[in-house]
Amino acid sequence: MDVLFLTAGISMFVHIALCVILRRGLLNHPAIEDELFATPNRPLGKPNFIRLLRVRYFMLFRALPEEAHGLEPWVRITLLATRVTGLCFICANLGFFVAAFIEAGR
């Protein structure tokens, strides 16, 4: 359980850092940025403060927008790493809670 908890925490922090780097790489492509990133705090009035990748793009089989294929190579690699760390975060969280329920049932 400890490994799953640490994996979830590390992947969350790496995902946030990669989202910041990716948004800087997409400064010249605002349409792609709006498509890829969600704005969870829009009602608070600061929509550009924290923006994370939409959960639908964590799934690696989900197709990216057509415009994303024309990005610079380092931006595409960062986008792939962001998707992988998001998926890793979700899997590690689910695994942690499943292991906690199994452990509690013993």
Global pTM value: 0.87
The total number of structural domains that make up the chain: 1
Cα–Cα dist 37/43, whole Å = 16
Asked if 64 and 80 touch (Cβ cutoff 8 Å), the reply is: no
Helices (H), 26-69: 30-36
DSSP state of 53: E
Residue 93: CB atoms within 10 A of its CB come to: 17
Q: Would you give per-residue pLDDT tens digits along the chain (106 residues)? A: 889 999 999 999 999 999 999 999 999 999 999 899 987 666 666 666 678 899 999 998 989 999 899 999 999 999 999 999 999 999 999 999 999 999 998 8
Domain with 69, as residue range(s), is 2-105
